[in-house]
Amino acid sequence: MLESLQDGLQSAFRTLRGQGRLTESNMRDGLKLVENALLEADVSYDVVKAFMQEVSEKAVGQDVLKSLKPEQQLVGIVNEALIELLGGDSDPTLHLKQDVTVLMMCGLQGAGKTTTCGKLARLISKEGKKALLCAADLQRPAAVQQLHIVGKSVDTPVYSEQGATDPIAVCQNAVKHAKDNGIDVVILDTAGRLAIDEELMQQLKTIDLKVQPDKAFLVVDGMTGQDAVNSAKAFNDALDLDGVIMTKLDGDARGGALLSVKHVTGVPIKFIGTSEHMDGLDPFHPDRFASRILGMGDIQSMFEMAQREFDQEQVQKTQERLQKGQFTLDDFRKQLNQIARPGLMQKMLGLMPGMGEMTKMLQGGDHEKEMRRLGGMIDSMTPAERSDPKLIDNSRRQRIAKGSGVSPQEVNELIKQFDSMASLMKGMAGGGVGGAMDMMRKLRSGELMDPTGKMKKSKQSTGKRMTAKDVQNQKKLKKKLKKRRR
Ligand SMILES: Nc1nc2c(ncn2[C@@H]2O[C@H](COP(=O)(O)OP(=O)(O)OP(=O)(O)O)[C@@H](O)[C@H]2O)c(=O)[nH]1
C-alpha cells in the first residue's frame, strides 16, 4: 500500500544520511524530495503547499539536536506533520450507545459501500455486538439481493422489505426492528449514483433528518484519486459527515486522496478498505498510519489484528493444551488454517517496520495448495502419531510420506514446523504486543515461511535446486532488510 510514496520519502531521507549537521542547504535538498514524493503520490497541490510550508518552517528553524542525525530530525518533523494531515488525534472508535446505534453509509455507485457495510458488520460482531444491515438502496434492482449475500457471508441479518419504494420508511422500520430485537447497531446501506446529483443528496438529507443516524460515513474509492476528495467535499457540504471510509487501498492507489481528504474537507478518515474480502477493513489511526508511511511499521495495529483475526478462544485452548503438554498435530493444523489465510500474512507483515519488500514477495503464494500438502501428511498419520509426533521414527516417516505422496524429508520438515508453531503459540498466548512481536520475530527470521509465502520447506529436502533467481532474490531481500535495520 502506497509503496511509491514510501519509497519517495525514504529516498528524501537518504539524502541526509551520513551528513553530520543539519544545514539549510542539505535540508532544502531533502525537503524538495519530500515535496516531489507527495506530488507524485497525487496529493492535491494546495495540500502539498501547506504541508511543505509547515515542515520547512519547523525544519529550518529547528535547533540542531546533538543527539539526532539530520535524517532523524527530518523524519520526526515529517512524521508530526503527516499525523496532523491525516487527522491528528481522530480515532475510529464507533462509541456505541446503550440503545441502538445507527450508522448511515453513503457513497457513489461502485465505491464499495455495500461491501464495506458487510465488513463493518463483521468488525462489530467481532467486538461481541449485534449488527443489522438495512437494505435502503431501492434504486438499483440487484442491490437488496447483493446486501443479503454480503450479510450471509458475515453472518449478519439483513432487514429488507420486498417491493418497498420508500427508503426512509425502510430505514425507520429497520431501526424499530433493531430496538425490538436487542440489536446494537443498524447499518443503513443507502443508494448510490454514478455521479453526485440533487436527487441522491435530497434522499440522503431526508434519511438524515427523519432517521437521525448517529453517524454518517461516506465510502469513497481510493483508486479514483482527487475525484474521491471532490466527492467527499460535495457529500460533506450536504450531510455534515462524521467520517470517510476509503476503499481499495490494496490496489495501485498512490495515496494522494488519503493524504488530501482531511485537509480539503475537514472530515477525517475512519476506516480503510484493504481487500475485497470481508476481513479487509482496517480502523484508521493517523499516528499509526504516518508511522507506516515512513517505514517505521505499526506494531500496535498488528497486535490488534492478531487479536481480532485469530480465534482467541482457540488460542486460549491451545495455550492450555501446551501447558499440559498436549499440543498435537491436529491442533497444529487448526492453527495453520488460521494463520495462513490468504492475505492475512501479507497484511500483518505490511505492518512490520521495513517489511514492505517481503509483503510484495508474499503475493501469489499458493496457500491452499500448501494447506492441502500439509493436511495430506497429517491425514496419513495414526491418531497416536498426531498426538505425539516423537513416535515418528524412520519407518513411520517412510509410511506417512508414501501415503501422502511426499518425500520423507518433507515429513521431517512438517514436524520441525510443528515444533516452531508450538513455541510460536506460546509467544502468542503469552499475549500483548510482546507475543505478537515474538511471532513476527519468527516470521522475520524465516522460521515459518519461505520467501514465496509458502510454509517453509527446504528446497534441498525436496530434491529441487535453488535457481539462480531464487539466490539473487534472497540476497536482495537480505541486503534490503539489513539496510533498513541500520
Ligand atoms: N480491492 C478492493 N475491492 C473492493 C474494496 N471494497 C470494495 N471492493 C470491490 O468494489 C466493487 C464494488 O463494491 P460494492 O460494494 O458493490 O460497491 P457499492 O458502492 O455498494 O456499489 P453500488 O451498490 O452499485 O452502489 C466490488 O467488486 C467489491 O468487491 C476494497 O477495499 N478493495
Q: Which value does ipTM take for this structure?
A: 0.97
Q: Among positive and negative, which fits the CA dihedral 307, 310, 313, 319?
A: negative
Count CB neighbours of 404 within 10 A. 20
Ligand 1 neighbourhood includes 27 CB (under 6 angstroms): no
Domain contains 322: yes
> Distance between CA 327 and CA 339 in Å, rounded?
16
Of 276, 284, 347, 363, which is best to mutate to test ligand 1, by the most ligand atoms within 8 angstroms of its C-beta?
A: 276
C-beta of residue 267 within 8 angstroms of C-beta of residue 261: yes
Residue where a domain stops, chosen among 296, 324, 348: 296
> Distance between CA 263 and CA 244 in Å, rounded?
13
Longest Cα separation, the chain: 76
* Residue labelled with grid coordinates 525544519: 59
Least Cα distance to 13 among 486, 357, 476 occurs for 486
Of 115, 147, 188, 220, which is best to mutate to test ligand 1, by the most ligand atoms within 8 angstroms of its C-beta?
A: 115
Residues 119 and 63 in one domain: no
Domain contains 429: yes
Ligand 1 center from residue 128 Cα (angstroms): 26
Ligand 1 center from residue 107 Cα (angstroms): 11
Ligand 1 neighbourhood includes 118 CB (under 6 angstroms): no
Domain contains 199: yes
* Residue labelled with grid coordinates 501479507: 346
Ligand 1 neighbourhood includes 44 CB (under 6 angstroms): no
Q: Which stretches of 240-366 are DSSP H helices?
A: 256-265, 286-293, 299-309, 312-323, 329-339, 344-350, 356-362
Residues 351 and 384 in one domain: yes
> Distance between CA 343 and CA 339 in Å, rounded?
10
Ligand 1 neighbourhood includes 192 CB (under 6 angstroms): yes
Residue where a domain stops, chosen among 278, 296, 314: 296
Ligand 1 neighbourhood includes 222 CB (under 6 angstroms): no
Domain contains 96: no
Following CA atoms 146, 96, 304, 244 in sequence, which dihedral angle do they give, to the nearest 10 degrees?
60
Residues 63 and 171 in one domain: no
> Distance between CA 31 and CA 471 in Å, rounded?
37
Residue 88 DSSP SS3:
coil
Residues 370 and 434 in one domain: yes
Ligand 1 center from residue 60 Cα (angstroms): 44
C-beta of residue 188 within 8 angstroms of C-beta of residue 216: no
Ligand 1 center from residue 92 Cα (angstroms): 21
**Residue-by-residue DSSP string for 307-326:** HHHS-HHHHHHHHHHHHTT-
Domain contains 92: no
Residues 323 and 383 in one domain: yes
Ligand 1 center from residue 264 Cα (angstroms): 24
Which residues constitute the domain of residue 442? 305-485
Ligand 1 center from residue 295 Cα (angstroms): 28
Name the residue with the closest Cα to ligand 1, atom 3: 276
Ligand 1 neighbourhood includes 115 CB (under 6 angstroms): yes
Residues 141 and 252 in one domain: yes
Residues 124 and 32 in one domain: no
Residue where a domain stops, chosen among 51, 86, 121: 86
Domain contains 277: yes
Ligand 1 center from residue 309 Cα (angstroms): 22
Ligand 1 center from residue 218 Cα (angstroms): 13
Domain contains 389: yes
Residues 378 and 361 in one domain: yes
- Tell me the three cell numbers of residue 36: 516531489
Residue 32 belongs to domain with CATH number: 1.20.120.140
Ligand 1 neighbourhood includes 343 CB (under 6 angstroms): no
Indicate the angle between helix axes 143-153 and 113-126, nearest 10 degrees: 30
> Distance between CA 355 and CA 351 in Å, rounded?
8
Residue 397 belongs to domain with CATH number: 1.10.260.30
Residues 208 and 76 in one domain: no
Q: Among positive and negative, which fits the CA dihedral 376, 377, 382, 383?
A: negative
- Amino acid letter for position 465: R
Count CB neighbours of 442 within 10 A. 17
Name the residue with the closest Cα to ligand 1, atom 13: 112
What residues are designated binding site? 107-114, 189-193, 247-250
Residues 259 and 335 in one domain: no
pLDDT attached to residue 452: 39
Fill in the DSSP letter of residue 41: T
Fill in the DSSP letter of residue 255: S
- Amino acid letter for position 344: L
- Tell me the three cell numbers of residue 166: 420508500
Residue 367 DSSP SS3:
helix
pLDDT attached to residue 458: 36
Domain contains 289: yes
- Tell me the three cell numbers of residue 267: 472530515
Name the residue with the closest Cα to ligand 1, atom 22: 109
Ligand 1 center from residue 151 Cα (angstroms): 14
Ligand 1 neighbourhood includes 111 CB (under 6 angstroms): yes
pLDDT attached to residue 58: 79
Ligand 1 neighbourhood includes 376 CB (under 6 angstroms): no
Ligand 1 neighbourhood includes 247 CB (under 6 angstroms): yes
Ligand 1 neighbourhood includes 190 CB (under 6 angstroms): no
Residues 452 and 481 in one domain: yes
C-beta of residue 214 within 8 angstroms of C-beta of residue 103: yes
Residue 272 belongs to domain with CATH number: 3.40.50.300
Ligand 1 neighbourhood includes 273 CB (under 6 angstroms): yes
Ligand 1 neighbourhood includes 213 CB (under 6 angstroms): no
Q: How many domains does the chain have?
A: 3
> Distance between CA 217 and CA 310 in Å, rounded?
28
What residues are designated binding site for GTP? 107-114, 189-193, 247-250
- Tell me the three cell numbers of residue 372: 492441502
Residues 287 and 413 in one domain: no
Q: What is the pLDDT along the chain (486 residues), one digit of tens a residue?
A: 677 788 888 888 888 777 766 677 777 888 888 899 899 888 888 999 999 988 888 777 655 555 567 777 788 888 889 999 999 988 888 888 889 999 999 999 899 999 999 999 999 998 899 999 999 999 887 899 999 999 999 999 999 998 888 999 999 999 999 999 999 999 999 988 877 788 888 989 999 999 999 999 999 999 888 888 998 999 999 888 999 999 998 877 678 888 999 998 999 999 999 888 998 999 999 988 888 888 776 666 666 776 677 666 766 776 677 767 677 888 777 766 666 666 666 666 666 655 554 455 445 556 667 777 888 899 899 988 988 888 999 999 999 999 999 999 989 888 887 777 666 556 555 544 445 445 544 544 444 444 433 444 433 333 333 445 545 555 555 555 455 444
C-beta of residue 63 within 8 angstroms of C-beta of residue 278: no
> Distance between CA 44 and CA 28 in Å, rounded?
21
